[in-house]
Chain A
Amino acid sequence: MGESVWVLGATMTKFGRFADKDLVDLASEAAIGALDDAGVGMRDMQVLAAGNLEEASTGVGQRIQHQLGQYGVPVFNVVNACATGATAVRAVYLSIAAGEADMGLAVGAEQMGKQGLLNAGKKARTGEKRVFAPRGRYGALQGVEGVLGSGLMPGVFAKAGLEYAAEHDGVGFEQFAKVAVKNHAHSALNPLAQYRDAFSLEQVMAAEMIGYPNTVLMCCPTGDGAAAVVLVSEKKLKTLDPDQQRRAVKISASVLTSDPFTEADHVQPDINTLTRRAADEAYAKAGVDPQDLDLVELHDCFATAELVHYDNLRLCEPGGAGDFIDSGAPTRDGRIPVNVSGGLISKGHPIGATGVAGIYEITTHLRGEAGDRQVSDAKVGLAHVIGLGSSCGVHILERRAS
């Protein structure tokens, strides 16, 4: 095995809605933050990866270079659904692991605004004569969303949660709601979170229902934001200042998976199998046991998703995700704190930024720099994201042995 790759600098912008900024403003703010945090400049970067969904065809990485420094280094513009940011980090990781670069910059950024449900509001054609004719790979005569079930995100992730409930005792609406209570409470301590309000279990369960069992307080918002990390080879790190070395965080595992064939994934995306594979591969690579983790940032796009990932990431006993949340284990002062940032539910989910922001959060705790929300004496953490389609990224980070 080659030498390790390290996080040298990390930052994120506040998540929220920033109508007065454009995508490159947000991406540049994060990139400069990470470069300054690392104590290096664009001239030191030998590779750049930019993760973004909505403006992916515009050369986001090059647009960042135009703002911050153009030196002709390779740029990877990546899109991988909600795993886009983690994929950008992994592209830089691979370049360094392959020995092609000593140092590189990964930026994830998104500007979504207040657009409501993703994929919603497609306009129907009007004015043309309408004659039914089968179209597409299903031979459909007209749109099937809402007629043959729902393929939109709230429905898909709600069904993933209730499928788990069907298979395991002690899981229901209340357990899912407790996830959201926890993450909203966590976000109150995070100045970079989009929302910072705590809610009671009663408030979460009584909020507007979006897709049972997820109420609006159990769904992530759309929003704007960016995050960035500077990665460095171990060899290069050893040549840097003691303070840069002291704050560096080791990437013990970087894993990306897609979904293998399963019986039902052509009708209901399987968010479990690829997450389990990614997690198991990451634990093996890092030589870390799930019970060794001091904190986890996982992909809680909906409260139902977080609950099933307790099991997928082996944080709880098999089938025991309901007991895990009921016991308080994933709260900030619990056995394995999960989403102390507030998670996607309350910190926010600007899609391209999310995977990088999870790595920022873990890094900040491992450095002991997380302020009011610091998980005490954090030594090892895991960041997980999953995008439908599907793609899953898992990174395990470790504090430098002192």
Chain B
Amino acid sequence: MSAPATTRQLPLVRYLALEPEPHLVANECTKCNAVYFETRVACASCENRDFQPRPLATTGTLRTFSIIHRSAKGIPTPYVSAVVNLDGGGVVKANLVNAGTDPAGIRLKMPLRLTTWVVGTDDEGTEAVAFGFEPVEGGSNG
């Protein structure tokens, strides 16, 4: 058997959808609209047991961050851990990339957009795709 023509890719986590364009999909409570990235038995806010997939915006703003200089073994540093308020709802934790690691270059509330990259490959050649956020070019610098 010959190898497939295109490399197989899987999202690093279930809540990242790669098609048609990369975006996040949350589990939304059908009653109170709270969103979760993990699977929940019931909604922690209202106890409703039904959820539906909800695609989230690929743009948002920087809610808070930390520039991590010392971490667990095997994790390259420095990097920026960010919490992002997505436009239209949803809050997500991810790395802030393409923004440097100097606090002077990172502005709270700065506009961001989702980006993806290959983060690992398994022994069958399948690539894991991670997501993060990067500054929106031409965004307000004030």
Write the B36-71 contact mask toward A (1 if CB under 8 angstroms, else 0).
111100001100000000000000000111111111
Within 8 A of A (CB), among B100-135: 103, 108-109, 119-120, 122-124, 126, 128, 130-132
Contacts of A266 in B (CB 8 A): 36-38, 44
Bound-state Cα–Cα, A263 to B74, Å: 31
Chain A min CB distance to B136 (Å): 18
A163 touches B83 (CB 8 A): yes
Bound-state Cα–Cα, A122 to B74, Å: 9
Q: Which residue of A lies closest to B103 (CB)?
A: A212
Kindly state whether residue B18 has any CB partner on chain A within 8 Å.
no
Within 8 A of A (CB), among B19-39: 34, 36-39
Bound-state Cα–Cα, A139 to B64, Å: 25
B108 touches A162 (CB 8 A): yes
Which among A121, A138, A268 is the interface contact of B72 at CB below 8 angstroms? A121
Chain A min CB distance to B81 (Å): 4
Contacts of B39 in A (CB 8 A): 137
Which among B76, B77, B128 is the interface contact of A132 at CB below 8 angstroms? B128
Write the A172-210 contact mask toward B (1 if CB under 8 angstroms, else 0).
010000000000000000000000000000000000111
Contacts of B128 in A (CB 8 A): 132, 141-142
Chain B min CB distance to A130 (Å): 5
Write the A300-341 contact mask toward B (1 if CB under 8 angstroms, else 0).
000000000000000000000000000000000000000000
Bound-state Cα–Cα, A155 to B78, Å: 12
A165 touches B108 (CB 8 A): yes
Which among B37, B45, B66, B75 is the interface contact of A159 at CB below 8 angstroms? B66
Known contacts A146-B72, A261-B44, A268-B83: does B13 contact A163 (CB below 8 Å)? no
Known contacts A141-B12, A266-B37, A268-B64: does B71 contact A152 (CB below 8 Å)? yes
Which among A139, A166, A210 is the interface contact of B70 at CB below 8 angstroms? A210
A141 touches B10 (CB 8 A): yes
Q: Which of B15, B39, B75, B109 gathers most chain A CB within 10 Å?
A: B75
Write the A257-276 contact mask toward B (1 if CB under 8 angstroms, else 0).
00001011011100000000
Which among A134, A149, A209 is the interface contact of B14 at CB below 8 angstroms? A134
Bound-state Cα–Cα, A212 to B101, Å: 10
A211 touches B108 (CB 8 A): no
Bound-state Cα–Cα, A235 to B75, Å: 57
Bound-state Cα–Cα, A314 to B11, Å: 44
B72 touches A145 (CB 8 A): yes
Known contacts A264-B83, A268-B83: does B13 contact A211 (CB below 8 Å)? no
Kindly state whether residue A401 has any CB partner on chain B within 8 Å.
no
B94 touches A138 (CB 8 A): no
A137 touches B38 (CB 8 A): yes
A267 touches B83 (CB 8 A): yes
Contacts of B76 in A (CB 8 A): 146
A148 touches B66 (CB 8 A): no
Kindly state whether residue A1 has any CB partner on chain B within 8 Å.
no
Contacts of B124 in A (CB 8 A): 131
Kindly state whether residue A240 has any CB partner on chain B within 8 Å.
no
Write the A95-123 contact mask toward B (1 if CB under 8 angstroms, else 0).
00000000000000000000001011110
Which among B36, B64, B73 is the interface contact of A163 at CB below 8 angstroms? B64
Contacts of B130 in A (CB 8 A): 147-148
Contacts of B63 in A (CB 8 A): 163, 166, 264
Contacts of A136 in B (CB 8 A): 38
A selection of 27 A-B contacts at a CB cut-off of 8 Å is A120-B72, A121-B72, A122-B73, A132-B120, A137-B38, A138-B14, A141-B12, A141-B120, A145-B71, A146-B68, A147-B119, A148-B132, A149-B82, A149-B83, A149-B94, A151-B93, A152-B72, A155-B68, A162-B66, A162-B108, A166-B109, A213-B66, A214-B66, A261-B34, A261-B44, A266-B37, A267-B92
Chain B residues in contact with chain A, CB under 8 A? Answer: 10-15, 34, 36-39, 44-45, 63-77, 79, 81-83, 91-95, 103, 108-109, 119-120, 122-124, 126, 128, 130-132
Extra 13 A-B pairs, beta carbons < 8 Å, given A131-B122, A173-B103: A132-B10, A134-B13, A137-B39, A146-B71, A147-B130, A148-B94, A148-B132, A154-B70, A159-B66, A162-B65, A211-B81, A261-B44, A268-B83
